[in-house]
Structure formats: structure tokens, C-alpha cells
Chains A and B, each alone.
Chain A
Amino acid sequence: GAVVSQHPSRVICKSGTSVKIECRSLDFQATTMFWYRQFPKKSLMLMATSNEGSKATYEQGVEKDKFLINHASLTLSTLTVTSAHPEDSSFYICSARVRGGSYEQYFGPGTRLTVT
């Protein structure tokens, strides 16, 4: 089956620093990847849609200058949380849609970000 990986699985950083999270489709090409954020005991909230070779589309209320998304290849999308603050602490999950396939999305294992 289609596998999506994320790196790192968990990261702790200091307030004011930037953190990059990678999302990779391991055995398929993904023209579209999605980034979600999930707070404890809450549901997943879509942050942005990332298309290979073009700018990401951000959901309302998500600061594009704070959450930088790059989708440089068909197998890699990155999310950079810039100038992180404690309120950015959350579980970040990516998903990928198979290129030329159905609309089914495959989710990564998530990245736990803690900002101290």
C-alpha cells in the first residue's frame, strides 16, 4: 500500500526558532499533499494544500508567512514553522494523494512539535 513518512516524529524547540517538518511519499508520486494540525483531544484541521511546483493554498486563518510550505518534488513536501511560539505546539500531520489515482489520501504518522 501507499506509505507516507514524516520526519521528525517529534521535535522540541525553543520559542523564536524555526522548525522544518518533512513529508515524503515513499512508494508513489504525489502531486498534492495536505498539511493538518491537531490539538489534544481535537479533530484534524486542514492548514494548507500543497501542489508540486506551485504555491500552496492556505485555509482561512492560517498565516502563510508563519507556516511555509514547499512542495519541490513529487515525493516531498516540507512545512516550516517560523518563529515558533508555545501556542504552535501541536501534532502536525501530512497526507498525500496519489498522482493520477483516485482521490484517496494516505496519511503520515504525524510530527509532535513542542515549543518551549
Chain B
Amino acid sequence: LAKTTQPISMDSYEGQEVNITCSHNNIATNDYITWYQQFPSQGPRFIIQGYKTKVTNEVASLFIPADRKSSTLSLPRVSLSDTAVYYCLVVPGLTGGGNKLTFGTGTQLKVEL
């Protein structure tokens, strides 16, 4: 399973755009990039998933360069409620991996007024 590396922590202010970058140099051809959000004492919540280029939903955008060795989660105009840990995962595609998710250290995002 591809290992991911992301910053341990980030600080921001309300209304700012936050970009969290994750590196996954050993990503395989069939792997997808998935981001989860976790609040204290809660289970992780799916945010977004992508394979290449750009994916956008109502919560975030995910940018993936052509070599797919990194990805950037973009959170537009964050609020205090976005304070959480964000995990970047590389998920094996349907053809392999057994659906196991490997969580890295995650990035603790702290949003202040």
C-alpha cells in the first residue's frame, strides 16, 4: 500500500482558503486518492476522492497533478467548524488491495477567528 506524507498541523483563519498537500510517491496505477475528515471522538467522514486532475464537490476540491505523486485538498473559506484532522489515503482500486485503508498521521487543521 502506498505510504502518504502530509504536514502534521496547519493553522488558518476563518474565511481563508486552506490547501493541504499530501505526497504519495509510490502510488500504483489502480490507486485512488481519498481524503477523510475526523473530529475528536468521532469516526472519520469521507470528504472527496479522485484519480487524476481535479475533482470538486460541495465541500472541497482535490487537485492531482499528472504524475499523481501528490495531491492537494483545497477547502474554500474555512470556518471554525472545519477544525479537525484531515487524512490523505491512497486506496487500492477495485482490482486489488482488499479494500484495506491505511491511515497516516493526518493533518491537524486549526481554524481561528
Q: Is chain B a partner of chain A in the same complex?
A: yes
Q: Which A residues are within 8 Å of any B CB, using their own CB?
A: 4, 6, 32, 34, 36, 43-46, 49, 91, 93-95, 97, 102-110, 112
Task: Give A109 to B94 CA distance when docked, in angstroms.
Answer: 26
Minimum CB distance partner of B45 in chain A: A107
The B contact surface, by secondary structure, is: loop
Known: A97-B99, A103-B92, A103-B99. A108 touches B43 (CB 8 A): yes
Chain A residues near B98 (CB-CB < 8 A): 49
Chain A residues near B41 (CB-CB < 8 A): 91, 110, 112
Task: Give A92 to B20 CA distance when docked, in angstroms.
Answer: 27
Chain B: interface size category:
20 to 34
Chain A residues near B103 (CB-CB < 8 A): 36, 43-46
Task: Give A66 to B74 CA distance when docked, in angstroms.
Answer: 41
Known: A110-B41, A112-B41. A105 touches B106 (CB 8 A): no
Could you tell me if B104 and A43 are in contact, using CB atoms closer than 8 angstroms?
yes
Could you tell me if B105 and A43 are in contact, using CB atoms closer than 8 angstroms?
yes
Of residues 90 to 112 in B, which have CB atoms within 8 Å of A's CB atoms? 91-94, 98-106
Could you tell me if A109 and B43 are in contact, using CB atoms closer than 8 angstroms?
yes
Known: A43-B103, A43-B104, A46-B100. A107 touches B93 (CB 8 A): no
Q: Would you mind naming 25 contact pairs between A and B with Cβ atoms under 8 Å apart? A: A6-B43, A32-B99, A34-B99, A34-B100, A34-B101, A43-B104, A43-B105, A45-B103, A46-B103, A49-B99, A91-B41, A93-B43, A95-B43, A95-B101, A97-B99, A102-B94, A103-B32, A104-B46, A104-B49, A105-B46, A105-B101, A107-B43, A107-B45, A109-B42, A110-B41
